[in-house]
Structure 1
Amino acid sequence: MTIGSEETSRRRRGAMYVRMSTDHQKYSTENQADAIREYAERFAIDIVRTYTDSGKSGLSIDGREALQSLIADVQSGAADFTTILVLDVTRWGRFQDADESAYYEYMCRRAGIDVHYVAEQFENDGSPVSTIVKGVKRAMAGEYSRELSGKVFAGQCRLIEMGFRQGGPAGFGLRRVLLDEQRNPKGELKRGEHKSLQTDRVVLVAGPEDEVVIVKWIYKAFTEEGLRESEIAARLNQRSVKTDLGRNWTRGVVHGILTNEKYIGNNVFNRRSFKLKKRRVENDPDMWVRADGVFEAIIEPRHFYTAQGIIRERNRKFTDTDMLTRLKALHERQGWLSGILIDETDDMPSSAVYAYRFGGLTQAYKLIGYDPGRDLTFIADNRHIRQMHPEIIADVLNQIGQLGGKIRVDEQTDFLIVNEEIKASLVISRCGQSASGKNRWQIRFDAGLMPDITIVVRMAANNRDVFDYYLIPAIDIETPKIRLADNNHLALDAYRFDDLESFFLMAERADLPVAA
């Protein structure tokens, strides 16, 4: 055997795992990879596979598709390597439970694959010293995230008290305006747009006059004319007035306008918590962070608080027995229940009241003997999605027409033909859940009559609201079906958009200058 062949036989096959978090830490994935390659060369390891999670938090394994794929390869026996190289303990993850981090490493070790942390000062050889040091490092990584979360939350609270908006759409009748660090206006933020500089801030201002007039009318109709939310919604729909999302009005949308303090200029934060990727919870009012009178009010406080008094009195008159009786009657009429259905039904307390009174909607359902089965929800979701499809098509036709483009619906294929040049297919994907409770969307493409672009409308978890959009060109469709998660690899998420503005702009016609 030659010396060269002996050296080759001694070399090990390794896989590289790199992760770039969302908190802009010091090391990029490229720098991590450089350090790992240097280590691999020094210890005669050939990198045969690379797993990369870019822009992924290390708080949990959710959304980290590369790490999930790595673990799956290890468990299935498909791994063609004997060593996994990671920059350090924190790149493996900042799990809040240090045992979770250890568990994933143990799964690898049980399959005969070692995990090396190339930038750590200890050798991960299973010795008591390395075990102790790793345990400390893992606990420190989790504690760092907890401390960072506390600092971020404190910063958000301070900005709220200073009168700055912290996320979320403006809402009907309001608009978001970007301010520089001297509080000078820089312009209005459209839906889906975000600030680009950390020193910039966002405030709410009154929207177009026609929307402000409608908001004022809603309060007047509710407090003075005695109209219910559903009656107000019906009148707005009769007048062909659309919401800020371009949709028809519902009882729930009207109720949201009647109960949100931003319409009297108050800035309220921390109504709900979702810290460190844990369970989302509704906080009690004494935990809310607020600053009153910091935005331009479009509703007088007396009208707002009159509306709150009416709503509270309406809910207060229901005893527990009354509420459960009405809930049971609604179930008998409809055959199914949901928070949306409850909110859209007259003479019923809101779903939030049921959740507060009985410790959650599920508990209220149990008290009337209702099991919210998946099949019933699926039927209701599909019914709603079928109703949405023509509404979205109509909106696309209208928007492109306003931009000077031409669009028609092909009767044989249902494709949207834009300017007689582009064939587009519209697919609405309902949100489902995996066995582990994670959001998942399945997209089926028309493999027989492949359009130029497939417009994918992803529904939110409630399957009532739109979550986002994907504009996927035919050239990048390799399979007739794909599965999406909340976060996907760049090859897919490069086509993700918050609205259809990009698609509309494809159809826009511009006047060309005429040569003299």
Structure 2
Amino acid sequence: MVGVYRKRLSEIPSEPTLRRAAAYVRMSTDHQKYSTDNQMDAIRGHAAKNGIEIVRVYADEGKSGMRAKGRDAFLTMIHTIVDGKADFDLIVAYDHSRWGRFQRDHEAAYYAYLCLDAGVEVHFCAGGFPNEMGPLAELMWTISSMQARNYSRDLSGKVWLGQCRLIRMGYRQGGSPGYGLRRMLLAENGTRKFELKPGERKSLQTDRVILTPGPASEVRRVRWIYDQFTRRGQSEAAIARTLNEKGILTDLGRAWTSGTVHQVLTNEKYIGNNVYNRTSGKLTAKRRANDPDEWVRADGAFTAIVSPDVFLNAQRIVEERNRQYSDTEMLERLAHLFRKHGVLSGIIIDEADGIPSASAYQSRFGSLIRAYELIGFQPERDYRYIEINRALRALHRETVSDTIESLRAQGSSVTRNPITDLLRINDEFTASIVIARCRETGAGMRRWKIRLDASLGPDITLAVRMNGANDAPLDYYFLPRNEVTSHRLGLSEENGFMLDAYRYDNLDEFLALSRRSRISELAPW
């Protein structure tokens, strides 16, 4: 077949091989200019033009870029790459700022080089950033890091100045109103709209919030607290006991303690003053207590429910009580309390009469532990933790088994992963059970840390919060996956509506959630 040319198979051009890539997207708030959806649109367009196939998406929504901590998707991506488990050789992000606005020099480049060392490149589809590592790219990393850091600092400064301006105008900037007070929403023209309930927030940016006196019964009790303290000479602990005996709860629905009484006695909002910046910790810096001359304030911003004279008298008593003791006298009283109880804690100190508060010991000696050392008290917390941890491991096994038994008893199907203890219920959702041990701070406050296994990705984490003795459950938190994005969650006694909305006293609600219903029961018509 002369004149007929047939190309050999090897000469026939083949389809180009697409590079496998992971997309990384991030936004700090829901109001950012470039949402994760917009970022993905740009990344897909970049991928289509450059022969890239997006095989994985790592998304951090509502996460600050100032540090890697707390950005679960970012850290999971980095760990997957460093461990050699990545099924891609390229990461594509929208621009350098989405990678991070790190506050430490070279931190952004550090994570990029971890990826590069494992054979995974980092590309950006916007900003004119070179996609090949070299001297120019290194220079660009440094410049971009400085720009991102300065942007965060400038933005933080502008926000802080804006908050200070609003404080001086007499508007409230977040936080619980406190017992005897309520939050009142104001329109832009200053007219009152309505009272905000616990957990509610203003929806319009132009609205403002002020504090206003609460129910008359609460206002009377606040004044009674000041009267008992200033005229009757009652301690915070004695006042708390009286309130609890009468069945009166705090604004958060909890029993009174000497600490909560002390807060009422020392907060200037009860005389109508709006005070801000008592503590600060901008960006990634540690929080610190500020000197009074650094406070931002607006005196007389709210309606007072306690007279300034009575308030100042209370402050003089508090100051004199803590100042009248020398270091030796404070330690002698602490030693006497130790001999009486055989053990010490912040709660024991605050509940005792005739002795400075736990915070006074912290301020005078640097920490409660240091004060303990000076009187020869050595807390045995490390030894007790060994026994507590052993008991909690046994409790976890029992809780998982009991939960499975209860679910099956009501007709739900349950399978249990023998290695991870992950439960699959009704072949519809997964659940993980964790035990949160109660820890006591140096000031006697109770805290819980919940460790969440992001690698399992349960739809619901059932967190069992233990009581102060760690010998029985206190309550339960049912945490849905889309609401909890951190590996660790810290809880205190009160955590605000956004978290405490998931708190329950028992497992009944969880069982009800897992109970299957007949269609006729759901739709009787």
- TM-score band by shorter chain is 0.7 to 0.9
What SS does the aligned partner of 1:143 have?
Answer: helix
Question: Deviation string for 1:252-274 (max 9, x for gaps)?
Answer: 11111111111110111111112
- Structure 1: distance between partners of 2:253 and 2:332: 36
- Segments of 5+ residues of structure 2 without an aligned counterpart are 1-8, 393-404, 411-432, 441-446, 454-459, 491-496, 513-525
Question: Deviation string for 1:101-158 (max 9, x for gaps)?
Answer: 1211111111111001111213131221221122111111011111111111111111
Partner of 1:32: 39
In the alignment, is the contact (CA less than 8 A) between 1:173 and 1:212 conserved in 2?
yes
- Structure 2: distance between partners of 1:354 and 1:93: 41
Question: Deviation string for 1:146-196 (max 9, x for gaps)?
Answer: 111111111111111111111110111111111111111121111122111
1:112 equivalent to 2:119? Answer: yes
- Structure 1: distance between partners of 2:387 and 2:266: 27
Partner of 1:441: 450
In the alignment, is the contact (CA less than 8 A) between 1:59 and 1:276 conserved in 2?
yes
TM value normalised by structure 2 = 0.74
Matches within 5 A, 1:352-363: 352-363=359-370
Taking a change above 3 Å as real, the CA distance of residues 267 and 496 of structure 1, as seen in their structure-2 partners, is closer
1:18 equivalent to 2:25? Answer: yes
In the alignment, is the contact (CA less than 8 A) between 1:471 and 1:496 conserved in 2?
no
- Structure 2: distance between partners of 1:22 and 1:191: 23
Question: Deviation string for 1:265-296 (max 9, x for gaps)?
Answer: 01111111121133121112121111111111
Report how far residue 248 of structure 1 moved: 1.3
1:277 equivalent to 2:280? Answer: no
What SS does the aligned partner of 1:67 have?
Answer: helix
- Structure 2: distance between partners of 1:205 and 1:380: 49
- Structure 2: distance between partners of 1:283 and 1:380: 40
1:348 equivalent to 2:355? Answer: yes
1:221 equivalent to 2:228? Answer: yes
- Structure 2: distance between partners of 1:263 and 1:379: 45
- Structure 2: distance between partners of 1:172 and 1:3: 83
Q: 1:57 aligns with which of 38, 41, 64?
A: 64
Structure 1 counterpart of 2:36, which letter? Answer: T
- Structure 2: distance between partners of 1:212 and 1:341: 29
In the alignment, is the contact (CA less than 8 A) between 2:452 and 2:488 conserved in 1?
no
Question: Deviation string for 1:441-478 (max 9, x for gaps)?
Answer: 0489xxxxxxxx997576999x9xxxx984458xx99x
Partner of 1:485: 488
Identity %: 51
- Structure 2: distance between partners of 1:49 and 1:17: 9
- Structure 1: distance between partners of 2:336 and 2:103: 44
Aligned pairs, how many?
439
Partner of 2:400: none
Question: Deviation string for 1:322-380 (max 9, x for gaps)?
Answer: 22333444455556555444333333322332333233445445545666665478699
Taking a change above 3 Å as real, the CA distance of residues 440 and 251 of structure 1, as seen in their structure-2 partners, is closer
Taking a change above 3 Å as real, the CA distance of residues 244 and 279 of structure 1, as seen in their structure-2 partners, is same
What SS does the aligned partner of 2:176 have?
Answer: coil
Taking a change above 3 Å as real, the CA distance of residues 469 and 197 of structure 1, as seen in their structure-2 partners, is farther
What SS does the aligned partner of 2:79 have?
Answer: helix
What SS does the aligned partner of 1:276 have?
Answer: coil
In the alignment, is the contact (CA less than 8 A) between 1:14 and 1:85 conserved in 2?
yes
1:241 equivalent to 2:248? Answer: yes
Question: Deviation string for 1:74-99 (max 9, x for gaps)?
Answer: 12111111001111111011110132
In the alignment, is the contact (CA less than 8 A) between 2:71 and 2:486 conserved in 1?
no
RMSD: 4.0
Taking a change above 3 Å as real, the CA distance of residues 318 and 129 of structure 1, as seen in their structure-2 partners, is same
Q: 2:75 aligns with which of 54, 65, 68?
A: 68
Taking a change above 3 Å as real, the CA distance of residues 153 and 3 of structure 1, as seen in their structure-2 partners, is farther
What SS does the aligned partner of 1:7 have?
Answer: coil
Which of these two proteins has the greater Rg computed from alpha carbons? 2
Partner of 1:398: none
Partner of 2:15: 7
Q: 2:205 aligns with which of 175, 187, 198?
A: 198
Structure 1 counterpart of 2:129, which letter? Answer: F
- Structure 1: distance between partners of 2:466 and 2:173: 24
In the alignment, is the contact (CA less than 8 A) between 1:160 and 1:268 conserved in 2?
yes
Taking a change above 3 Å as real, the CA distance of residues 320 and 4 of structure 1, as seen in their structure-2 partners, is farther
Q: 2:128 aligns with which of 121, 132, 138?
A: 121
Q: 1:301 aligns with which of 300, 308, 318?
A: 308
What SS does the aligned partner of 1:98 have?
Answer: coil
Partner of 2:105: 98
Report how far residue 25 of structure 1 moved: 2.7
Partner of 2:258: 251
- Structure 2: distance between partners of 1:187 and 1:460: 38
- Structure 1: distance between partners of 2:49 and 2:343: 64
In the alignment, is the contact (CA less than 8 A) between 2:21 and 2:56 conserved in 1?
yes
Partner of 2:140: 133
TM value normalised by structure 1 = 0.75
Q: 1:152 aligns with which of 159, 170, 183?
A: 159
What SS does the aligned partner of 1:49 have?
Answer: strand
Taking a change above 3 Å as real, the CA distance of residues 135 and 369 of structure 1, as seen in their structure-2 partners, is farther
What SS does the aligned partner of 2:283 have?
Answer: helix
Taking a change above 3 Å as real, the CA distance of residues 107 and 26 of structure 1, as seen in their structure-2 partners, is same
- Structure 1: distance between partners of 2:111 and 2:206: 39
Taking a change above 3 Å as real, the CA distance of residues 291 and 346 of structure 1, as seen in their structure-2 partners, is same
